[in-house]
Structure 1
Amino acid sequence: MSLIARILKVKSRSHILITRPESGLFPEKILGTRNKRGGQARQRLGITVGAFVCGFLLIGGRLVQYGLAEEPTTASLGNPSAVASRPDIVDRNGQLLATDVNMVSLYADPRRIIDADEVVEKLAAILPNLDWRDTHRKLRTDSGFQWLRRQLTPRQQADILALGIPGIGFRPEKRRFYPGGRSAAHIVGHVNVDNLGLAGMERYLDQQGLADLRAIGMTSGVSLEPVRLSIGIRVQNIVRDVAAKAMNAYQAEAAGAIVLDVETGEVLAMASVPDYDPNEPSRTLTDGSVDKEYEKGWFNRISNATFEMGSTFKSFTLAMGLDAEKITLNSVVDASRPIRMGGFTIKDFKGKNRPLTIPEVFQYSSNIGTAAVADMVGIEGHQEFLTRLGLLSKMETEMPGVATPTQPRTWKKINSVTISFGHGVATTPLQTASAASALINGGKLIPPTFLPRSPEQAATLVKTVVKQSTSEDMRTLFRRNGQKGSGRAAQVEGFDIGGKTGTADKVVNGRYASDLNFNAFVGAFPMDKPKYMVLSIIDAPKTGVHGGRTAASTAAPMVKAIIARAAPLLGVQPRFGSKDAPYSIESF
């Protein structure tokens, strides 16, 4: 061993202590290497113990914090009343049309999911039509919240709870429920999965500020006052039933009807078929796709669509001539031969080929006689009169999505002639019923409403559009046609019903189809003092009463069925015996 190695070995084992005596000859005390290492070990042990103590204190503090913290509401059912609500919707008699029910929805915290594949497999056994790929994608994200399925049934919730899957929770929600189902679907409308109104009066409520109040939490835990509509659900059920049966019996593409109070403008019933169930507004097929045929039922043909209303427009043309004092009920027009104009020939469907009085023009639905009256008034007067009745502008009412009428960009004489008998201008059936009401209620145009309205309230909205004498003459024409003309198909024994049919060639791809009709009937009762207006439509019927396809064989019988079943509910008692005996009309 080398000398240097021996010295290092001896030095490492040595403990040399040099003390400084009081004399101060030695400068300091020197510790050995072994004592130095022992001090470092004790220092390290102290640091380690301190670190462990701090760690345990930190963990203990967090556990206490978690123990004292309130449980997150998204992880449990919480308090359902704290969820934003919508007001109930009821009919004019207080019958429930729409309400909120408490539901729960399933969500996940992907950060707490251990095995996404296992979770998807377990949930798929409980939830029908679960999208495996989409659910797996959600569970693999880094977000802290993902919806998995909205609005579970109680059974589904219980089954999922029994699985005990970490990272899965339930959140309280509200689901809109419509007890009447399809009956008033197009009036009440529906909501989406977040309870926001998408159509009908549900959407109207949101447009009036409900959506904003919900957004800031003003409707949470608050009992909202029910919203009352003008419709009566019993009459509504009748109207919807008649329309549905007519569509099937006459093999038509669609059908519909509306009942109006001519004194207040209240819509008492309105139905359009095909329709849909607002409890299931979007139906999903077994393959996961959406049923497009079912979605066609969303289309409301009474207020959200425009049609050429055919000969029902002759009511407005003759009223125009009477109001302008160009004709009287004793006037005679020449309908002995067709009118040729601009390459077109205007002729009657079943012409009498002779001069006709004004009542005969209405009764026989003469195109030639009606065109002659329009020519007496002139193009500008014709356009102004229809505008005055609200037939050429968008109707103002609470119902969202109301269609805008169409008319020629420039009115020429041929346009005025064809419009006089219902071709060339397209309006909504609701507008037509409202304008026709003004012809028989004393000349008062009242905006239609889906909310209750008293006669006093209606009086503040009245716009006089025709003279009282004109209205009286039109009641005479309506009643005569109901007794002797095409309106006989709508007559109900014991009630005095008047009206006008309208059979128009259907417009398909911008052209008139020779084998397809759009039929309508506008009628009122009782005609000695009209109270209610009923309008029916039927689109492209293939058959009708006695095999006919005209309005007299299809649309008029619909009005007959509605009045026969609904008149007692509307408070109108039938009258038999003396024609001079007044009708009894009770409050509805």
Structure 2
Amino acid sequence: MRRKSVRNDGSRGRIALLLAGCVAIFGVISARLVALANAPTVAASIYATSPQDDVQAARPDIVDRNGEVLATDLATASLYAEPRNITDVDEAVYLLTQELPELDPEKLRKDLSTERGFVWLKREVSGRKREAVHNLGIPGIGFLTETTRFYPGGSTVGHIVGHTNIDNAGIAGLEKTIDSGGLSALQSVGLARKGRDLAPVRLSVDLRVQHAVRDELSRAIERYQAVAAVGIILNAKTMEVVSMVSLPDYDPNQPEQALEQVRMNRAMAGVYEMGSVFKTFTLAMGLDSGTITPNSLLDARGKLQIGKYAIGDFHGENRVLTASEVFKYSSNIGSSRIALALGAERQKEYLKSFGFFDRIDTELPEAAQPLVPSSWPRITQATVSFGHGISVTPMHTAVAGAAMINGGIYAPPTFFPRSEAEMMKIGRRVISPQASKQMRDLFLLNGVEGSGKNARVPGYNVGGKTGTAEKAVKGGYAKNKRLNSFLAAFPIDDPQYVVLVTIDEPKPEPGKHYATAGWNAAPTVANVISRVGPMLHVAPRFPGDDAIERAITVAYQE
């Protein structure tokens, strides 16, 4: 009996020792798991055993203001090899090049003859080719599921959304902006990996409006045999970009097209002498400063001689004009006299306030620096007053134009949604409310009686200013090459939207002798507004027909 008791006591000790050991081992494992949980990137690097585990980072969708998808991720397969696991290099090279003849046999043989653990062979392989290669059964050859960017809108929004590279990293447009805004940082710590939902990036752009503007610009290029065209629509009260089109454009699904110079984003990356559109800003600074009133008299007879230079008018009235008539008849002489009366320093101060001296501040990385004269003699004062001698982007012109007619507040444009209150917080006053009201009156005058008559759209009360600028060439200006523009706002009594259309080197239509902006840029603006007005919920108004106006208003509210 005593021996049995001794044996039982020994068994109990061994069991206790075993339990203590298990508890210790479990404690070590638990501590290790806790450590790994607090260091996810380290854990991933330790336990990653296959290239398949290294999935490519995802990107958020980009959508327009109505939720229409402009850019999204799609799954794709890319072919890779683990050379150290290839048993017969020659056989692998032969079989792979039979199915994928685009592979370079010599380079492939060199890549597969190493002891490396991973090497890319071909990115983005089609489903049919993937199945064919898989059926070859080559050891050490596999596919990695990646993400590639797809742009349902294609060329329609190419210059806005930009594109990504083969590694799905943004390299142009808003795709690049999204990366610089923190997506890359999220990806680096594993918080933006495939399978994780990212909130879509919503833009201020309206895809429907964008399509209509692009369509009308395409028609204009064909109709006037032009080489290029730009169209911009801004919300005048928020400076949101509702549409921005530059033709020829490119398809972000084929990013190699972006390398062609002709497809550059002229709206923001091209700088031009904008011509008589600039008289808008000359009149505005004259009115705001008190240098002139709408009824001030300005001598526009003959030529204005400044040193060896003589400034004349295209179709001069050859008489004394009021300031309002200077705008209506687009007088170079009258505009020059306003600028000279204002003085060089005040003229430069106003132009800088309007944003014309600085690279435009917006979300797109592609934005050009204006070309500003280094010196400012009297002849520069005069020529800048009617849009020559200073080169800016069309976007500069559209934004400054919006500030002229929205009450006098300038704010940088944005491709993201912004409220009027948010705009007012960051905006700065460039002219007084009274001067802005006077500019709206001048826009309407020109739209009814001046060079903007061809931009009229029944019910939309369009006002604006034309600009026909001879293009600068080596040694002077080309008489037969013009950049034509029309800067418009509607409805001009309470402007909701600003529209700028620029047509590069338009030709006269058959049977017509002129190719100035009033004959091509202005009617193109009319075509744009007639199409996009209803999309933007701007109800047309007809004088004396209040019943119809009320019915239309109710219909839009519903």
**TM-score scaled by structure 1?**
0.82
- Counterpart among 557, 561, 565 of residue 523 in structure 2: 557
1:268 equivalent to 2:242? Answer yes
Give 1:299-448 correspondences, 5 Å limit: 299-448=264-413
Asked whether the 8 Å contact 2:247–2:263 carries over to 1, the reply is: no
1:520 equivalent to 2:520? Answer no
1:90 equivalent to 2:63? Answer yes
Give 1:104-119 correspondences, 5 Å limit: 104-116=77-89, 118-119=91-92
Structure 1 CA distance for aligned equivalents of residues 140 and 473 of structure 2: 56
Structure 2 CA distance for aligned equivalents of residues 177 and 377 of structure 1: 53
* CA pair 206-71 structure 1, distance change in 2 beyond 3 A: closer
Give 1:46-445 correspondences, 5 Å limit: 72-74=49-51, 83-116=56-89, 118-127=91-100, 129-220=102-193, 221-282=195-256, 295-296=260-261, 298-445=263-410
Unaligned runs of 5+ in 2: 1-45
Counterpart of 1:407, as a letter, is V
Give 1:491-506 correspondences, 5 Å limit: 491-506=456-471
Asked whether the 8 Å contact 1:73–1:171 carries over to 2, the reply is: no
* CA pair 579-357 structure 1, distance change in 2 beyond 3 A: farther
248-257 vs 497-506, greater mean Cα deviation: 248-257
110-119 vs 187-196, greater mean Cα deviation: 110-119
Report the counterpart of residue 507 of structure 2 in structure 1. 542
* CA pair 396-482 structure 1, distance change in 2 beyond 3 A: same
Counterpart of 1:268, as a letter, is V
Asked whether the 8 Å contact 1:229–1:452 carries over to 2, the reply is: yes
1:115 positional shift: 5.0
Structure 2 CA distance for aligned equivalents of residues 471 and 370 of structure 1: 18
* CA pair 557-126 structure 1, distance change in 2 beyond 3 A: farther
Counterpart of 1:190, as a letter, is H
Structure 2 CA distance for aligned equivalents of residues 435 and 133 of structure 1: 59
* CA pair 519-115 structure 1, distance change in 2 beyond 3 A: farther
Bigger share in helix: 2
The SS at the match of 2:225 is coil
Structure 2 CA distance for aligned equivalents of residues 187 and 490 of structure 1: 27
Structure 2 CA distance for aligned equivalents of residues 344 and 370 of structure 1: 16
* CA pair 490-579 structure 1, distance change in 2 beyond 3 A: farther
Asked whether the 8 Å contact 2:501–2:521 carries over to 1, the reply is: yes
Structure 2 CA distance for aligned equivalents of residues 133 and 354 of structure 1: 80
Residues matched between the structures, number: 507
Give 1:469-488 correspondences, 5 Å limit: 469-488=434-453
The SS at the match of 1:264 is coil
* CA pair 579-549 structure 1, distance change in 2 beyond 3 A: farther
* CA pair 274-135 structure 1, distance change in 2 beyond 3 A: farther
1:215 positional shift: 2.4
Structure 1 CA distance for aligned equivalents of residues 296 and 546 of structure 2: 28
Counterpart of 2:517, as a letter, is A
The SS at the match of 2:268 is coil
Structure 1 CA distance for aligned equivalents of residues 205 and 358 of structure 2: 25
* CA pair 480-234 structure 1, distance change in 2 beyond 3 A: same
The SS at the match of 2:260 is helix
Structure 1 CA distance for aligned equivalents of residues 355 and 233 of structure 2: 18
* CA pair 342-117 structure 1, distance change in 2 beyond 3 A: farther
Counterpart of 2:125, as a letter, is L
1:295 positional shift: 2.6
Q: Could you report, residue by residue, the CA deviation over 1:302-339 in whole angstroms, capped at 9, with x for unpaired residues?
A: 11121111100000001111111111111110001111
Q: Could you report, residue by residue, the CA deviation over 1:274-319 in whole angstroms, capped at 9, with x for unpaired residues?
A: 1111111115xxxxxxxx8x73355111111211111000000011
* CA pair 320-123 structure 1, distance change in 2 beyond 3 A: same
Q: Could you report, residue by residue, the CA deviation over 1:38-61 in whole angstroms, capped at 9, with x for unpaired residues?
A: xxxxxxxxxxxxxxxxxxxxxxxx
Asked whether the 8 Å contact 1:186–1:298 carries over to 2, the reply is: no
**TM-score scaled by structure 2?**
0.86
Structure 1 CA distance for aligned equivalents of residues 65 and 460 of structure 2: 25
1:490 positional shift: 1.2
1:262 positional shift: 0.5
Report the counterpart of residue 7 of structure 1 in structure 2. none
1:451 positional shift: 0.2
The SS at the match of 1:282 is helix
Identity %: 47
* CA pair 388-71 structure 1, distance change in 2 beyond 3 A: closer
Counterpart of 1:437, as a letter, is A
Q: Could you report, residue by residue, the CA deviation over 1:351-409 in whole angstroms, capped at 9, with x for unpaired residues?
A: 11111111211111110010011111011111111111111111111111211111111
Report the counterpart of residue 4 of structure 1 in structure 2. none
Which of the pair has more CA radius of gyration?
1
Structure 2 CA distance for aligned equivalents of residues 418 and 454 of structure 1: 37
The SS at the match of 2:467 is strand
Asked whether the 8 Å contact 1:255–1:272 carries over to 2, the reply is: yes
> How big is the alpha-carbon RMSD for the aligned residues of Structure 1 and Structure 2?
2.3
Q: Could you report, residue by residue, the CA deviation over 1:176-199 in whole angstroms, capped at 9, with x for unpaired residues?
A: 111111111111111001111111
1:231 positional shift: 0.6
The SS at the match of 1:568 is helix
Report the counterpart of residue 535 of structure 2 in structure 1. 569
Counterpart of 1:230, as a letter, is S
Asked whether the 8 Å contact 1:498–1:525 carries over to 2, the reply is: yes
Structure 2 CA distance for aligned equivalents of residues 86 and 416 of structure 1: 49
* CA pair 157-514 structure 1, distance change in 2 beyond 3 A: same
The SS at the match of 1:505 is strand
1:73 positional shift: 3.5
Structure 2 CA distance for aligned equivalents of residues 257 and 215 of structure 1: 38
The SS at the match of 2:266 is coil
Report the counterpart of residue 288 of structure 1 in structure 2. none
Counterpart of 1:566, as a letter, is V
Counterpart of 2:372, as a letter, is Q
